[in-house]
Amino acid sequence: MGFRMGIVGLPNVGKSTLFNALTRTAAAQAANFPFCTIEPNVGEVAVPDQRLETLAGIAASKQVIPTRITFVDIAGLVKGASKGEGLGNQFLANIRETDAIAHVLRCFEDGDITHVEGRVDPVADAEVIETELMIADMESIERRLANLARKLKGGDKEAAAQEGLLKRALAALEEGRPARTVEVAEDDRKAWSMLQLLTAKPVLYVCNVAESDAASGNALTEKVREMAAAQGAGHVVISARIEEEISQLDAEEAEMFLSEMGLEEAGLDRLIRAGYTLLGLQTYFTVGPKEARAWTIRKGTLVPQAAGVIHGDFEKGFIRAETIAYDDYVAGKGEAGAREAGKLRVEGKTYEVKDGDVLHFLFNG
């Protein structure tokens, strides 16, 4: 599985510029006025991972297939969106379909680009959007609680469990806290995610800075860092302008350009890595002469479920998995060398897949 990240933010903070750069397209019209993104633009990009290239080189794989991340560029939000202001209702519906929110904040001064609130204050911008999402969640919860009343009278156990979760979320929201601050027991996680609360989604703050601040950030990004740390959220500093320029270059030119800017890697790489950390994701690989492929799973995934990411039959008929750690595969110069060195392990149904594992599944099909 890959994951879907919604790119949100107030109008004119650089959302569409960043989206265009990340997806190497100009699908989202980047213009200096609010609501230039009317429909949510969706773009898929390969997740960069040098390990996959290394494995493919060792195995002489004909095809290299990276795992992918989907970015959804969502229409700019303004104060009052929860009441339908601007493109509010559409904005809120589009967020529900994402796994995480990349919240782009303007951390640059530019007199030529209008700020919808007439000031540059990323923390205040973050609060505007968070407030709108919290209001929308409160209204949604109140509607759902009213709809559950009849089922509760009939002694419906599932409705009672749902009511308990909704009331806990509402209590947090009434205290001014987003739903993601509510601690949910492992047994309730599935039911909790089914509530599709907007403020339950993990948030990654993306500080959009001027080119000169891309390497070290600035006073505004420091404020965002402090806010993110206090919330247990992620944050990353990116110059959307630089990403846009890189997107037009080939690999060699991009490397030279990054070096000149004092950057070790493209913002896309940092953004994806921060997203993976935020969602607790990791990668495993399948490698052979036909193809080398990366697969995304959640940390803590057991090997049968990891097999199921490839195909449901792999999970149903799972017998065992031949497993080689990435470093051992590289040191052994492939499967045969790793096997000879005693580094190939046979793992059963209770094995928890590790990041970088090279797996070969055996199953009844």
For residue 328, the domain's CATH number is: 3.10.20.30
Q: Please count the other Cβ atoms lying within 10 Å of the Cβ belonging to residue 299.
A: 14
* Predicted confidence (pLDDT) at residue 199 exceeds the cutoff of 50: yes
| Domain match, 131 and 183 both | yes
pLDDT tens readout for residues 98-149: 889 999 999 988 766 655 556 789 999 999 888 888 998 998 899 999 888 8
| Domain match, 246 and 316 both | no
Region 48-63: mean pLDDT is 94
Structural domain contains residue 290: no
Region 273-297: mean pLDDT is 92
Q: Known binder of ligand: residue 300?
A: no
pLDDT of residue 58: 97
* Pairing between β-strand 291-298 and β-strand 281-287 as defined by DSSP bridges: antiparallel
Q: Which domain holds residue 201?
A: 3-49+68-278
Structural domain contains residue 19: yes
Structural domain contains residue 256: yes
pLDDT of residue 355: 96
What mean pLDDT value characterizes the chain?
85
331 φ, ψ to 5°?
-60, -35
pLDDT tens readout for residues 148-163: 888 887 777 888 888 9
Lowest-pLDDT range, 85-99, 126-140, 207-221, 252-266? Answer: 85-99
| Domain match, 327 and 251 both | no
The torsion angle over the Cα atoms of residues 139, 140, 142 and 146, rounded to 10 degrees, is 140
| Domain match, 232 and 270 both | yes
For the chain, what is the domain count? 2
Q: Known binder of ligand: residue 67?
A: no
| Domain match, 305 and 241 both | no
| Domain match, 226 and 320 both | no
What is the CATH classification number for the domain harbouring 167?
A: 3.40.50.300
Q: Known binder of ligand: residue 14?
A: yes
| Domain match, 205 and 310 both | no
- The last residue of one of the domains, among 218, 245, 278, is 278
* Predicted confidence (pLDDT) at residue 259 exceeds the cutoff of 60: yes
Cβ–Cβ under 8 Å, residues 18 and 104: yes
pLDDT tens readout for residues 70-108: 888 876 555 554 455 444 456 677 788 888 999 999 998
Cβ–Cβ under 8 Å, residues 284 and 359: yes
Structural domain contains residue 294: no
Cβ–Cβ under 8 Å, residues 16 and 43: no
| Domain match, 222 and 149 both | yes
| Domain match, 188 and 324 both | no
Structural domain contains residue 248: yes
Between 74 and 60, the higher pLDDT residue: 60
Structural domain contains residue 160: yes
Q: Known binder of ligand: residue 15?
A: yes
Structural domain contains residue 43: yes
Residues 6+ apart with CB under 8 A from 155: none
pLDDT of residue 79: 56
Give the Å distances, CA to CA, from 84 to 11, 88, 132. Answer: 16, 5, 10
pLDDT of residue 221: 96
| Domain match, 202 and 73 both | yes
- The last residue of one of the domains, among 244, 278, 312, is 278
Q: How far apart are CA 143 and CA 166, in angstroms?
A: 11
* Predicted confidence (pLDDT) at residue 40 exceeds the cutoff of 70: no
Between 212 and 247, the higher pLDDT residue: 212
Cβ–Cβ under 8 Å, residues 358 and 321: no
| Domain match, 79 and 147 both | yes
Length of the chain: 365
pLDDT of residue 33: 38
Q: Known binder of ligand: residue 287?
A: no
pLDDT of residue 38: 40
* Predicted confidence (pLDDT) at residue 59 exceeds the cutoff of 50: yes
Find residue 283's DSSP bridge partners: 296
Q: How far apart are CA 223 and CA 14, in angstroms?
A: 19
Lowest-pLDDT range, 23-32, 90-99, 140-149, 191-200? Answer: 23-32
pLDDT tens readout for residues 307-319: 999 998 899 999 9
Structural domain contains residue 223: yes
- Structure pTM? 0.80
* Predicted confidence (pLDDT) at residue 257 exceeds the cutoff of 80: yes
SS3 186: helix
| Domain match, 304 and 268 both | no
